[in-house]
Amino acid sequence: MGARVKAAASHFKRYLLPYSILAIIAGVAVGYTYSSSFFKANRPLISDAIIALAILTIYPSMIQLKMERLGIAARKVREIVLSMILIFAVSPLLAIGFSTLLPSQDVALGYVVSNVVPASSASIGYVLLAGGDIELATVLAVLSLAGSIVAIPAYLGAYASVASVSLPMGKVMKALLYTLITPFILGQLTRYFLIGRKARGLAHREALLAVAGLREDGGSPDGGVLERYESLVREFKARFIEELERSVKPHLSLTTMISMLLLIALLGASRARLIVGRPYTTFEIIGMQAVMLAILLGVVTGVDRLIGVSYEENEAIAFISATKNQSLAAAIAVMALGPGAAVVPALIPAVQAPVAVAYLHASPRLRKIFPTR
């Protein structure tokens, strides 16, 4: 069973881009065919299904967030400050600027929220594939998650005020609670009980066996048994946590990817009439996001090169700053914004993944211009 899950996760990861494109095409085709019957008659059910899939997509990444690694943040203040500026200032302001080119306010709001949401688990996955600094990426992901709780309502509120748009801030906060804070709490509790406690139990058992063996062999004096036992518990616990994380990761990755594909298909189906009826808007959103991502990655690379960060740190800053959690954006759009807002997070994965992969392919060149650790 474990081998099958691992193989399936590897397959979906390798072909995630074509599967994403197929998902939105299939969703739009089905939605357009049945838009006047099933989808129109069951709007509340469709909205609930979108929110449920968004939560299911986000939840596994919250299990994999390692809060214990936040302790290293103080050692990389420069890199963290740079990334936070990119995430909470440069990216939202660029999105607001681009959104003025879109034809309707609800689509524009969807574009803004799609670029204010935090990084996803896929962002850390890109860092891993690039051989980047995983610890820094984890810290940046956690900080972007925490900061977005304030940034999302603040930017949406400011945008709505300037654009003279009525925005239900209560619904925005409710969407954040349902789709960000709740999965985060549940994910960390799952991590504690599923991985942390199990690893501690296994570590204590192995440490007891090891200490008993040492005493039988006369290899440890009585006065040093407790110290040796505690040292072994820490050593074994770290090892078992790593092993347990490895064993559950394929299951979490597969759940995330399948949920994301279903979410993309359902978003496409629910907004099929709008996508087919406004092809120019569809291509405009995709083109604008491609340009925006290229600008962000270009700025990151240039600034990182200027201040002399390492290649590994550059990869962490680049992917966490540029790629966003579109599942969260979809849930906020469905729960709090206009009917056209959900089109944007349905379309952005079709361009976000190719741009991220293109940056991955640039890794050999980037290694030549950045120092490596």
DSSP state of 337: S
Cβ(86)–Cβ(316) below 8 Å = no
Q: DSSP readout, 69-90?
A: GGGGGGGGHHHHHHHHHIIIII
Query: What pLDDT is stored for residue 260 in this prediction?
Result: 77
Residues in the chain: 373
Cα→Cα distances 146→87, 120, 226, Å = 12, 13, 39
Verdict on whether the full-model pTM lies above 0.95: no
Task: Give whole-number Cα distances, 292 to 282, 285, 323, in Å.
Answer: 16, 10, 11
DSSP 8-state code for residue 339: T
What DSSP assignment string belongs to 287-310? HHHHHHHHHHHHHHHHHHHHHT--
What's the rounded Cα separation, in Å, for the pair 96 and 274? 22
Contact assessment for residue 147 and residue 125, using Cβ atoms and an 8 Å cutoff: no
The domain segmentation of the chain, as residue ranges, is: 44-188+255-369
- Rounded CA-CA distance 294/356 in Å is 10
With contact defined as beta carbons under 8 Å apart, do 50 and 239 qualify?
A: no
Distance of CA 107 to the CA centre of its chain: 22
Domain spanning 44-188+255-369, CATH class: mainly alpha
Cβ–Cβ < 8 Å for 287, 350: no
Per-residue pLDDT of the chain (373 residues; tens, 9 = 90+): 677 888 888 887 777 778 878 888 888 888 888 776 777 777 778 777 877 877 777 787 777 777 766 666 567 888 899 999 999 999 989 988 888 888 788 888 888 888 888 887 667 767 766 778 877 887 888 888 888 888 888 888 887 777 666 666 676 677 767 666 787 788 888 887 777 777 777 777 777 777 666 555 555 545 466 666 677 767 777 777 777 777 777 887 788 778 878 877 887 787 777 777 777 878 888 889 999 999 999 999 999 999 888 898 999 899 999 888 877 788 787 777 766 787 888 788 778 877 887 887 788 888 888 887 7
CA distance 305 to 311: 9
